[in-house]
Amino acid sequence: MSLDRYGRNINYLRISLTDRCNLRCVYCMPAEMTFRPRAELLQDEELYRLLPIFAGLLGFSKFRLTGGEPTLRENVVEIVRRIAATPSVQTVAMTTNGLLLNKLAAPLADAGLTRLNISIDTLDPDKFKQITRWGDVAEVWDGIKAAMEAGLQIKLNAVVVRGFNDRQDVIDLAKLTYDFPWQVRFIEMMPFGEVAEFQQAKTVCEAELLALIGDRLAPPILLNQGQLDGEARLYQLPGAQGCLGFISSVTQPFCAGCNRARLTADGKLRLCLLREQELDVLTPLRQGISDAELTQRIEAAIWEKPWGHGLAEQQIPMNRVMSEIGG
C-alpha cells in the first residue's frame, strides 16, 4: 500500500503512452505542438520493468492508459496484455479519442482491457471538426460501435466549452443515455500552460448544465446520494438506461479522495494533475538504479503528494499542457 502524508491510499496509476496525437483539441494543446523525440519517452521494456514495482511493491491495482492518443503507441495491444497479466493488477482501462478503435477495440479487449473512456464533445460533425481542428465524428462513432461489439464497458467524455458546445450539444449527448447503458460525462475545462487563459474564460459548471438539462429534458435524479464514482457525480434522466456524470474538478474539487498518480510519456511521476511537482523516474532507470532504491524514491514522492490543486488561488500549472500528462 502507498500512503501519502494525508492518509490517502494511492493505488491508481494513469500512464501516458505518448505525447503525440492525431487530433489537436483546442482546450488540450496549441495548433503548433512540438512533440518529444521518441528516444526521450519511456520505452516498452522500461515500462515493463516498472509494472511489478507499481503493482507488486507499491500496491497499485488500477491502471489507465492515456496520452496524447494512446492508440498511436506502436505496441499498445502488447502493453495492455503485459499490464493485465501483472500480478495484483485488477483493472486496465484506457482513455482515447476513439479514432483507431475500429481496428483496435477487439484486440485490446482480447488483451485484457476492460473499460474505455471515449472522448466526444459534440455529435455535430462541423463543430467536432472545429473543436478537434480536423477530426471526423463519424470515425469516433465507428470506434464506439466497435468497442460495444468487443464487449468493453463504455463511458463517453465531453469537455464543455462555453459558447461552443454548452447548449444543444449537451442535450444531444445527454439523450444518448436513453438508448445506451453508458455513462456520459461532462468535464469542466481545466487550465494548463499556454492555453490557460482560453480555458479559464470558457469553463462551464455542473449547476449550469444540470439546469439546462432539467429545462430541456427532465430534472436529472442524483444517484448514490451524491457519492462520487471515481471523479464523477452521477445523475440519471428518468427512464434512461445510462447515466450522466459530472466531473467538476475546478468548481467542486475532489482532491480529498484522490487516489491517483500519473506517469508522463517522458517517464516523470506526476503527483497531482494540476501541480508541477514531478519525480524523474526515467533518468535513474537508464542509469541502472535498483528496484529497491527506485521503489523507495517513488514511495517518498507519493508521501509528498500535494494535498490538492490551487486553481482557486490562481495557481496554474505552466510546465505542461494536458496532452503531455494525460488527464
Instruction: State the residues that interact with ligand SF4 by CB under 6 A.
Output: 21, 23-25, 28-29, 67-69, 97, 119, 323
Q: What is the closest distance, in whole angstroms, from the C-beta atom of residue 95 to ligand SF4 in the complex?
A: 8
Please identify, among the stretches 45-53, 166-174, 189-197, 286-294, the one whose residues bind ligand SAM according to the rule CB under 6 A: 189-197
Contact 314, 16 (CB under 8 A): no
Q: Does 95 bind ligand SAM (CB under 6 A)?
A: yes
Q: Does 135 bind ligand SAM (CB under 6 A)?
A: no
Q: Does 177 bind ligand SAM (CB under 6 A)?
A: no
Among 51, 58, 101, 190, binds ligand SAM (CB under 6 A): 190
- The three-state (H, E, C) secondary structure of 144-178, written as one string: HHHHHHCCCEEEEEEEEECCCCCCHHHHHHHHHHH
Q: Does 122 bind ligand SAM (CB under 6 A)?
A: no
Please identify, among the stretches 103-111, 144-152, 184-192, 308-316, the one whose residues bind ligand SAM according to the rule CB under 6 A: 184-192
Q: Does 97 bind ligand SAM (CB under 6 A)?
A: yes
| 10: nearest Cα among 58, 79, 48 | 58
| 300: nearest Cα among 63, 52, 11, 3 | 3
Quick one: what does residue 143 bind among ligand SF4, ligand SAM, none, with the CB cut-off 5 to 8 Å set by partner type? none
Closest to ligand SF4 by CB, 295 or 319: 319
Closest to ligand SAM by CB, 97 or 264: 97
Q: What is the closest distance, in whole angstroms, from the C-beta atom of residue 29 to ligand SF4 in the complex?
A: 5
Closest to ligand SAM by CB, 242 or 327: 327
Closest to ligand SAM by CB, 264 or 323: 323
Q: What is the closest distance, in whole angstroms, from the C-beta atom of residue 216 to ligand SAM in the complex?
A: 23
- The three-state (H, E, C) secondary structure of the chain, written as one string: CCECCCCCECCEEEEECCCCCCCCCCCCCCCCCCCCCHHHCCCHHHHHHHHHHHHHHCCCCEEEEECCCHHHCCCHHHHHHHHHCCCCCCEEEEEECCCCHHHHHHHHHHHCCCEEEEECCCCCHHHHHHHHCCCCHHHHHHHHHHHHHCCCEEEEEEEEECCCCCCHHHHHHHHHHHHCCCEEEEEECCCCHHHHHHHHHHECCHHHHHHHHHHHCCCCEECHHHCCECCEEEEECCCCCCEEEEECCCCCCCHHHCCEEEECCCCEEECCCCCCCEEECHHHHHCCCCHHHHHHHHHHHHHCCCCCCEHHHCECCCCCCHHHHCC
Site for ligand SAM in 308-327 (CB under 6 A): 322-323, 326-327
Among 18, 183, 199, 248, binds ligand SAM (CB under 6 A): 199
Quick one: what does residue 187 bind among ligand SF4, ligand SAM, none, with the CB cut-off 5 to 8 Å set by partner type? ligand SAM
Please identify, among the stretches 30-38, 91-99, 234-242, 255-263, the one whose residues bind ligand SAM according to the rule CB under 6 A: 91-99
| 231: nearest Cα among 177, 180, 273, 175 | 273
The whole-angstrom separation of Cα 326 and Cα 94 is 10
Binding flags for ligand SAM, 13-52, as an x/- string (CB under 6 A) = --------x-----xx------------------------
Q: What is the closest distance, in whole angstroms, from the C-beta atom of residue 132 to ligand SF4 in the complex?
A: 6
Q: What is the closest distance, in whole angstroms, from the C-beta atom of residue 323 to ligand SF4 in the complex?
A: 4
List contacts with ligand SAM (CB under 6 A).
21, 27-28, 66-67, 69, 95-97, 119, 157, 159, 187, 189-190, 192, 199, 322-323, 326-327
